[in-house]
């Protein structure tokens, strides 16, 4: 029994170390993205009309980012050395023990830190996924705005602070040609990202089910246009495909 307790304690410590590492990694990513936006904004199309880049500020922020990356690497090394071996036979013990369905979904997935990190993982995956990449591959400023809004919506939708008005979901997506195929792809990426993050499988499953409730709001615009096109074609008013 004592050995089992030690193993569970080791798993708990390793899990905490990993969460700390992921949080720091998210901070580093955010800093680098801010630098990209700052530099991209300062670079003018016409050098004679553009503003000057604050070189000192950029250097200072890059130095901070490098220091953060160094600390991040050290944390990864320590977590691997101190926790990896002890946790050996029970890789999922922490996840299996900690899902409390009496708590809000926001709490079950790990709160803001996990949601923010999960969104970062999701965006990295979506930019590599041919099914949805075109919806997310924008300029740096736009992608940063999308990340922020996605995080704010998920956080509030799961029971956390209400930072995004859910009534904006339908109008924001109405002009996009998002089908059920694309929405299902997004849910696939969401599931893979939060499981990779270490969120309990049951909490991840319930999160997917919750997100499924906004399917109609996200796909309505495309559905309406497809139905109108079908009706016009049946009435002979749509000559797009006529020879």
Tokens standing for 3?
A: 């050995």
- Spatial contact of 131 and 180, defined as CB atoms under 8 Å apart: no
What pLDDT score was predicted for residue 47?
45
Res 234: pLDDT: 80
Task: Please give the torsion angle defined by the CA atoms of residues 136, 141, 142 and 143, in that order, rounded to the nearest 10 degrees.
Answer: 30
What gap in Å lies between CA 158 and CA 148, rounded to an integer?
16
Q: What is the pLDDT along the chain (243 residues), one digit of tens a residue?
A: 556 566 556 656 666 666 666 656 655 665 565 566 555 555 554 544 545 556 676 677 677 766 766 666 666 566 555 554 444 433 443 444 579 999 999 999 999 999 999 999 999 999 999 999 999 999 989 999 999 999 999 999 999 998 888 889 999 999 999 999 999 999 999 999 999 999 999 999 999 999 999 999 999 999 998 888 888 888 777 655 554
pLDDT at site 151: 94
Look at residue 80 in the predicted model and tell me its pLDDT.
56
Q: Please name the residues in contact with 228: beta carbons below 8 A apart, sequence gap of 6 or more.
A: none
Per-residue pLDDT at 90: 38
Cβ atoms of 109 and 163 within 8 Å: the answer is no
């Amino acid at each position: 029994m004592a050995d089992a307790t030690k193993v569970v304690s080791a798993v708990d410590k390793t899990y905490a170390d990993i969460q700390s590492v992921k949080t720091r990694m998210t901070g580093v990513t955010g800093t680098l993205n801010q630098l990209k936006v700052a530099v991209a904004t300062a670079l003018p199309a016409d050098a004679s009309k553009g503003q000057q880049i604050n070189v000192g500020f950029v250097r200072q922020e890059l130095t901070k980012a490098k220091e953060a990356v160094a600390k991040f690497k050290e944390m990864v090394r320590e977590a691997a050395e101190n926790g990896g071996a002890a946790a050996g036979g029970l890789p999922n013990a922490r996840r299996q023990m900690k899902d409390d369905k009496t708590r809000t979904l926001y709490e079950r997935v790990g709160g803001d830190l996990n949601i923010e990190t999960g969104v970062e993982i999701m965006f990295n995956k979506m930019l590599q996924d041919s099914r949805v990449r075109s919806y997310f591959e924008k300029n740096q400023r736009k992608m940063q705005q999308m990340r922020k809004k996605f995080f704010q919506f998920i956080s509030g939708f799961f029971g956390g602070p209400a930072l995004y008005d859910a009534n904006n979901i339908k109008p924001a997506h109405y002009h996009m040609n998002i089908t059920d195929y694309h929405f299902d792809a997004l849910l696939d990426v969401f599931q893979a990202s939060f499981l990779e993050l270490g969120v309990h499988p049951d909490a991840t499953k319930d999160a997917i089910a919750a997100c499924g409730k906004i399917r109609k709001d996200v796909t309505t615009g495309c559905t309406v246009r497809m139905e109108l096109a079908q009706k016009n074609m049946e009435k002979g008013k749509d000559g797009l495909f006529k020879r």
